[in-house]
Amino acid sequence: MKILGISGSPRKNGNTDTILKEILRGAGESDIPNIETEALFLRDYVISPCTGCELCRKDLTCSRFNDGMNLIYPKIEEAEILVLGSPVYNYNVTSQMKSFIDRLYPYYIFSDGRPGSYGSRLAGKGKKALVFSVCEQTDPEETGFATEAMARPLKALGYHICRSFPICGFFDKGAVLKDKNILHKVYSLGMELAGCSDK
């Protein structure tokens, strides 16, 4: 089983990276055999924002750009479980995460009507996801809709969302490293992840 973790933080070794690595460490150390985990960091890839050219409707891949997404698409297809993490930037995900999500558009199967119905080439494959956001404030209002901004598109693409949660109260780079409680919690969530059922 392949589990792909994706961090949308521009800040290397910041709170999002730390949480992501801890979730993947838990997943890798669970009782379920043959789990392969990989972490990737969107800041390491050039990902152009989608231009809405719609070429992917007929090409079934993005033929507008030849960029970092060409390296990431095969990983998405191979992974049964996706873990997406983003810092909260202005109540939302970072622009890196937003560009990445928009560039998943080639996986949709579109009809020609307006508004058109849609399906997904990733649906029906038992794909699952965990999404989390990290933010400074502790009032849930201040965390905005970052987790929803990741969970909803993945759901539309046919993923079963195992978990979706904000991690609040961390601002400074690496602040979360000092909170052993949170680290243990996300490690445990990682351990349970492979067993997450969509039934």
Ligand X SMILES: Cc1cc2nc3c(=O)[nH]c(=O)nc-3n(C[C@H](O)[C@H](O)[C@H](O)COP(=O)(O)O)c2cc1C
Nearest distance in Å: CB 195, ligand X: 27
CB of 93 to ligand X, least distance (A): 10
User: Which CB atom, from 15 or from 120, has the smaller least distance to ligand X?
Assistant: 15
Residues 14-53 that bind ligand X (CB under 6 A): 14-16
Task: Compute how many residues bind ligand X; rule: CB under 6 A.
Answer: 20
Contacting range for ligand X; rule: CB under 6 A; set: 10-18, 24-32, 33-41, 188-196 = 10-18
Which window, 27-35, 75-83, 138-146, 156-164, contacts ligand X (CB under 6 A)? 138-146
| DSSP letter for each residue of the chain | -EEEEEE--SSTTSHHHHHHHHHHHHHHTSSSSS-EEEEEEGGGS--PPP----THHHHSS--S--SHHHHHHHHHHH-SEEEEEEE-BTTB--HHHHHHHHTTGGGEEE-SSSSPPEEETTTTS--EEEEEEEES--SHHHHTTHHHHHHHHHHHTT-EEEEEEEEES--STTGGGG-HHHHHHHHHHHHHHTT----
Residues that bind ligand X (CB under 6 A): 9, 11, 14-16, 87-91, 134-137, 142-144, 170-171, 173
